[in-house]
Copies of this chain bind each other. A is one copy, B any other.
Amino acid sequence: MPGEFELIARYFTRPARQAVMGVGDDCALLQTAPGMQLAVSTDMLVAGRHFFSDVDPYLLGHKSLAVNLSDLAACGARPLAFSLALALPNAEDAWLEPFSRGLLALADAHNCELIGGDTTRGPLTICITVFGEVPADTAARPVPTRALLRSGAQAGDDVYVSGSVGDAALALLALQGRITLPADMMQAARTRLEQPTPRVALGLALRGIASACADVSDGLLGDLGHILARSHCGARVELDKVLPLLAARQAYAGGAAQFDNAYGARIALQCVLAGGDDYELVFTAPAAQRSALAALAGSLQLPLTRIATIEAAPGLRLVDAQGYAMAHDFASFDHFPAAGGLL
């Protein structure tokens, strides 16, 4: 079994490219270009909580960085670097080799370099802190930045979601044995859960277009709720715009699974509105940006679906196709829920 320092050297040490200094000293050194700010985000993934202990290590390496890159995307920041802290029950090449390969493949795809971290023995836990670059804007109020914030939504703005949402939660339910999905639907949903795509290019393109942005990690309504809370406003969400966001929905609600339709419809609704782990972006933009956003969806080949309108009155109002209000209790995912759980 390799020692800690040998392990770091073998799997995680590479020459610094953008960083002033990378792995190997007490600290790494980063220098941002003049006029740029550093965007920083941290996510911790715990075995049995965020992933199954026996998940493919390559996919886990990918996802560990993806969830962090998604936070940079939500801020419109360009990825620069990341640090990795890893607690492992034991240091096995058979696990470390594919884990580091999945991690570094995604890192390379985003030109995001590993600059440091920590390894220790312990229950399998992965903690990544990611660094991105975003232009300062001394004229911007109240925060002097060009970063996308959660706090800029205005009454009248449209609310959009990128890609599809809810399928990751659907795959999780299936892996937990709580529902059954046809094989091809399961494979597609499982890829959404285990190998999410951080919307980095979209986040960068939304600077100057979106008025507020967050990533969908805790659930669509919950993450939209974060925008509403920070922007001191409310939203009217159209259910018939939201339901098609679940890629697997049509086949599932149509009876492809072993549940009756009422239960199936409830599952679909729960997954799309409150399922976490999708890592799409939910964002707001003035109506004047509709054509710019249509063009962007085309150039990125990524659906950007308008699902809601920002209103001055606080609160999240869910309405059906006829505009009637629907009662809902779709809380977002909370690791320490005061009551209840996902289902």
The digit string for A303-343, where 1 denotes a CB below 8 A from any CB of B, is 00000000000000000000000000000001111100000
Is A143 touching B338 in the complex (CB atoms < 8 A)?
Answer: no
Bound: A230/B5 CA distance, A: 13
In the complex, A37 has a CB within 8 A of chain B: yes
* Per-position binary interface string of chain A over residues 181-217, scored 1 when its CB falls under 8 Å from any chain B CB and 0 otherwise: 0000000000000000000000000000000011100
- Asked if residues B25 and A120 are in contact (CB atoms below 8 Å), the reply is no
Contact yes or no, B129 A83, CB < 8 A: yes
CB of A31 within 8 A of chain B? yes
Contact at A75–B25, with CB atoms within 8 Å? yes
Name the segment of A39-47, A100-108, A289-297 touching the other chain.
A39-47
Known contacts A2-B338, A3-B338, A127-B85; is A41 also within 8 Å of B26 by CB?
Answer: yes
State whether B120 touches A122 (Cβ < 8 A).
Answer: no
CA distance A4 to B20 in the complex (A): 36
Chain A residues numbered 1-45 whose CB sits less than 8 Å from any CB in chain B: 1-7, 20-21, 24-32, 34, 36-44
- Closest residue of B by beta carbon distance from A8: B336
In the assembled complex, the Cα of A28 lies from the Cα of B129 at a distance in Å of 11
Judged by a CB distance under 8 angstroms, whether A134 is at the interface is yes
Give the chain B neighbours of A115 by CB distance below 8 A: 40
Provide the bound-state CA to CA distance between A3 and B336, in Å.
5
Q: Which of A27, A42, A118 has the most CB of B within 10 A?
A: A27
Contact of A121 among B75, B83, B91, B336 (CB under 8 A): B336
Range class of the A interface residue count: 35 or more
A residues with a Cβ closer than 8 A to B are 1-7, 20-21, 24-32, 34, 36-44, 46, 48-50, 71-72, 74-75, 77, 83-88, 90-91, 115-123, 125, 127, 129, 131-132, 134, 136, 143-145, 147, 149-151, 213-215, 230, 334-338
Known: A4-B334, A87-B125, A127-B127. 10 other contacts (CB 8 A): A25-B149, A29-B40, A29-B75, A31-B136, A40-B83, A42-B127, A44-B125, A49-B121, A49-B122, A119-B335
